[in-house]
Amino acid sequence: MSKYIWFLILPFFFASVFAYADDNIGNQLNNKMDAAVTYLHNKQNIPKAWELMVEVSDIIKKNPQYDDGEYAESMISLIAELLEMPWKDASPYLVGAKSTSGFQAFVLNHINDLTPGANLKKMKHNITKNCSVNKYKFCKKLIKKINSVYSK
């Protein structure tokens, strides 16, 4: 009889473990994005906000199910605001030593129809003024993406 009880209990045990893992990932994302917002709005440490978004992109790469809903909207907002900040802070993460193709894809994926037009306009101005589209293919991709979203 006790063997049968374990068959009933074990699925609930594993389900609770996985549910905790999901909550933990959500908490990590929330904490990192909240910290990035704080750095961004206080203009304390914009590079740290970029670094936190790299960490967020790493979490999303491993857990793509979190790139939806409220989390995705927060990421879109943060990317838009970061791309309006001084290019010297963005450059290392987008075209410099700290850039990766994975993070570049993350940034491009979070510029979309949910990005407000005012942000798109400021982002485009910042990128065209500070990043050579002839020298950096990624800057050209950013402008192309912004134009495709902005023209809709």
Sequential DSSP letters for 40-64: HHHTS-HHHHHHHHHHHHHHHHH-G
Amino acid (1-letter code) at residue 11:
P
- What mean pLDDT comes out for the span 125-130? 97
Residue 89 has pLDDT above 50, yes or no: yes
Cβ atoms of 76 and 110 closer than 8 Å = yes
Measured CA to CA, the distance from residue 128 to residue 102 in angstroms comes to 22
Percent of the chain whose predicted confidence (pLDDT) is above 70: 85
Tell me which H or E stretch contains 80: helix 69-82
Q: pLDDT at position 117, please?
A: 92
Domain count, the chain: 1
| Structural domain boundaries, residue 145 | 2-150
pLDDT band at 12 (very low <50, low <70, confident <90, very high): very low
Measured CA to CA, the distance from residue 49 to residue 31 in angstroms comes to 12
> Considering the entire predicted model, what is its pTM?
0.83
